[in-house]
Structures are given as structure tokens and as C-alpha cells.
Amino acid sequence: AQTVTQSQPEMSVQEAETVTLSCTYDTSESDYYLFWYKQPPSRQMILVIRQEAYKQQNATENRFSVNFQKAAKSFSLKISDSQLGDAAMYFCAYRSAAGSQGNLIFGKGTKLSVKP
Amino acid sequence: GAVVSQHPSWVICKSGTSVKIECRSLDFQATTMFWYRQFPKQSLMLMATSNEGSKATYEQGVEKDKFLINHASLTLSTLTVTSAHPEDSSFYICSERSGLSSPLHFGNGTRLTVT
């Protein structure tokens, strides 16, 4: 079974600075998808960024980028120029490309605080 | 705009009563919906997979007789918490199963409080 591990329960960053959230996963599959979701206090799940495992190029989305290391099974999220609105829970998630399930497997999350 | 509509957003019920939560896809036909539960300060855990026109698939440890799932149409899946108890108080959130390469779209979730 696949697992996702986020080793940082909480992180803090100064406004306008850069922060990196860690995520590792375990799988025997070669084809899969990885996601970072943001969950603000409203608890709405908001997609931040996604990465296809077959792509070597790291995904970027404005101030958000990932460092995808497939061999190491690592998928970290870098937030540049942090803003107060970035404060939230961040979940790393895995999705198999095989089979008929298609559900997400989540890590335990990292609570990000942004200091003004 | 939202592609998955979930109602109610919050509900308070008395112990022993049943509560129904609806999850409706707005932009497409969803043959499969996922139901997750999130306890305070914890991650989302998959409870069950709802399949249109067939029985739901439940994860290990989830009581299918307590959490009734109905997916009678391509746009609507419902989760009914039967004979609710305080330990069922949680945040329930649904998501659609789109193409595998697409991100899952989530409903806004339902905060259930059982008194």
C-alpha cells in the first residue's frame, strides 16, 4: 500500500520569505500523480500544484514550485515571497495511475504560519 | 466556480438521529465519488467510494450499516450517518473522480456535530 509522510507538523515563515514543505512517499508503482492541497480555516480543499511522475521537469505555479525527486520518492513544495494568505494546512497527496480507484492518499499535513 | 456542491455545510443533531449529506457534481457526470472524513487537526481519510448504480466500496474499519451511501444518479451521491453518536462528530468531505491526471475537485465539506 502507498503511504505519504509529511515530517513537519508545523512550519513558520516570515512574510515575503521562502519556505519549503517536505513530503516523502512510498510506492512500488512507476506511474502516479502527486499533489499539494491547501486547506485554509474554511476547510475548503484547494489544489496548489500537481506533478505527473513521468515528467522529469518540476511543476511550477506562480509562487509555488516543487522539487520532485522520483528516485528518492520526495516531493517538496517551495513557496516563494510568502503572503499572509498562504497561512493554512498543506497536504501532500498521492494518486495511483493504475487501477480503477483514483482516490487520493494524504499525508498528515503541515500547518504553515506566516508572520507579518 | 465550484464543480462539486456539498450540503449542508454544517449540521448539529441529537444523538440517535440520522443525518444526510448530499454531494452533487455540477459540471459533469460523476460515476464515482469519494467520501472522506477529517477529525480535528488530522488528515483526510477515505471512508468509501460511491459508485453510480452499484454498491459503495467501504474502507476497512468503516461500518457500512452506519454510513449509508447512495449514488442513484450520475450527479448525486449521498452519505447518511445513521443513529449518530458524539464520536461521529467530524468533518465530512466528498470529491469527484475525474480523469486520473486531473486533480480531484472537492465539495466544501460538512461539519457534523452530534450532541
Residue B100 has pLDDT above 80, yes or no: no
Q: What is the mean pLDDT of residues B8-21?
A: 97
pLDDT value at residue B99: 67
Show which residues on chain B lie within 8 Å of chain A, measured between beta carbons: 32, 34, 38, 42-46, 49, 91, 93, 95, 97, 100-101, 103-104, 106, 108-109, 111
Residues 6+ positions from B105 with CB-CB distance below 8 Å: B2, B3, B4, B95, B96, B98
**pLDDT, tens digit, 9 for 90 and up, residues A57-94:** 999 999 999 999 999 999 999 999 999 999 999 999 99
The DSSP annotation for A34-79 comes to EEEEEE-TT---EEEEEEETT--SPPEETTEEEEEETTTTEEEEEE
pLDDT value at residue A67: 97
Show which residues on chain A lie within 8 Å of chain B, measured between beta carbons: 33, 35, 42-45, 47, 50, 52, 91, 95-97, 101-109
Question: Per the structure block, which three cell numbers stand in for A104?
Answer: 487520493
Label the pairing between strands A10-14 and A110-115: parallel
pLDDT value at residue B106: 92
Element of type H or E holding B111: strand B110-114
Chain-chain contact of B91 with A43 (C-beta, under 8 angstroms): yes
Closest CB to A97 among B43, B100, B111:
B100
- The CA–CA distances, whole Å, from A57 to A50, A51, A60, A61, B10 equal 12, 9, 9, 13, 41
- Closest among B16, B20, B17 to B8, alpha carbons compared: B20
pLDDT value at residue B105: 85
